[in-house]
Structure 1
Amino acid sequence: MIRDIFSRKRHYTTIPSEKGKKDVPAGLMTKCPECKTIMYTKELNQNMFVCDHCGHHHRIGSTLRLKYTLDENSFTEFNQGMISQDPLTFPGYKEKSEKDRQSTGMNEAIRTGYGTIGGYKAVIAVMDAGFRMGSMGSVVGEKISRAIDCAIEEEVPFILFSASGGARMQEGVVSLMQMAKTSTSLNRLHEKGLLFISVMTHPTTGGVSASFASLGDVNLAEPQALIGFAGRRIIEQTIREQLPDDFQSAEFLLEHGQLDQVVHRHELKKTLLTLLKLHNAPQAKKKEGEDDA
């Protein structure tokens, strides 16, 4: 019996060769940064890039965001050709921007256009962290302002998805001016009695969080999204206190009254549709009254 144990054939795990590694298609598998589970990217995509094991919401680009949010084939993009200049002649800025244009297929860090959700028309703006980390330069601010103007002209709600590291440092004070510019445009939207829904995703920080992202009539966020102005380390060094572990998370902001709701990605389209229906009811009634008069 003992002889049988030692004579039993052993199976050893082999280390894949370099050729074997190259045979594995790029992007086939994705590792969850939260629970470290490795999943097929295709299955993750089918689950809207939400980890099926821990519920972590993976960062997604503007293309998938529009696909998951809007009615099929309803998006019409505008102001697509706008490209940022280099006002400060910042070293390497043009080259890095061109590299991002090649990798993302976008000219800037935001896409704007018309779309429908459940048949309800709205103007949509979606920031994309894949382009200069979604930073807000002059073109981003201009495209948001133009989108708001379109919403005012068409008398439809404005929905904006934020995903940004803040103002774009390569454009200096020009990027900071976009905070006031976009906020002023939103004030015009508010004066017209039109709805602005702000959806904050991971991350929404810096000048973006301190301006238009926080000015929604309804402020929503995805679970565990990082939302805040300055970084944790800077704040702790300034106030000389240790911050809570969940500081600047969507859940922390909700608890402290800075958000209206934290919404799971699977429920986001349904939530937006409900808000559009609630907004449309009195608008439709008002229009009927004007027609009767």
Structure 2
Amino acid sequence: MKAIALTEFGDPEVMTLRDLPDPLLGPDQVLVEVRAAGVNPVDFKIRAGYLRGLMPHHTPLIPGWDVAGVVRAVGIGVRDWQPGDEVLAYARKDHVQFGAYAELISLPDRMVARKPSTVDFVTAAALPLAGLTALQSLKAVGAGEGDVVLVHAAAGGVGHLQVQIARALGVARVIGTASPRNHDFVRSLGAEPVAYGDALVDAVAELVGGDGKVDAVVDNVGGVAFDQSLWLVRDRARMTSIVDGQRALEHGVTNTWARPDAAQTQWLADLVASGELEVEVQRTFPLAEAAAAHRLLEGGHVRGKVVLTV
């Protein structure tokens, strides 16, 4: 098969298109013909070598934890899937090596959800990691009916889904931080936009009134936004960060590291199919241009998601 792989860590150019052996198919696995692979910030962190102290890495390393495609074959112990099924998955395995930037990927069947026929492969590939991060972080802070929730980076890959999922969970008000050029987009998602910067605390306090506090915060940015959120959230137990795990622990804040969950992935995919959740894809790239996709994402100004097509 053809795949994007690296044998050393570094800049985007370490990734090249190669001919590699087809994946093995274990007894509880499905072999998927990849149609599209989502590109996430964790991918370029892996490419740069930043996660080598966290998870085992092996080369040649194929990046990519988001996949949508068609089942080619199933292992002898698989009962729920068959060749021809259209699927999507958050494909994070225990070891980092055999990812989704490839023509084929083998996955444990416990990760796989069924792609609704009305959802295209690009949209499906953009959904799993960002969608699960959005959903699981909202659940971590207990977001629900009557709450006022602050979402940082509300126009980003995770944030734009968080805003919509929060509304689906019954959250009363969502306030979303974003650059001014994305304020109309954030409004269209159902959130009240506020700009980043030194005036953020005052701006949010003015919006909510009363004691100037929000019920819950989901932090997708870290840094200054994390510090400001400590002032804005009424109870730090209802704040989570997907960025700064160590500082979160130090301040009594939870850290959200998305876990593969086929049932939650299915719920999200069905929400997309029903029209209740829209996945914004700013740009697609062919598989061979994975380095260009990484450069775009690392620039930090992407609205929604970036996807590779295979």
TM-score by length of 1: 0.32
Task: Indicate the structure whose relative CO is greater, using CA pairs within 8 Å and at least 6 residues apart.
Answer: 2
Larger proportion of strand: 2
Q: Select the structure that is richer in helix.
A: 1
- Bigger radius of gyration, 1 or 2? 1
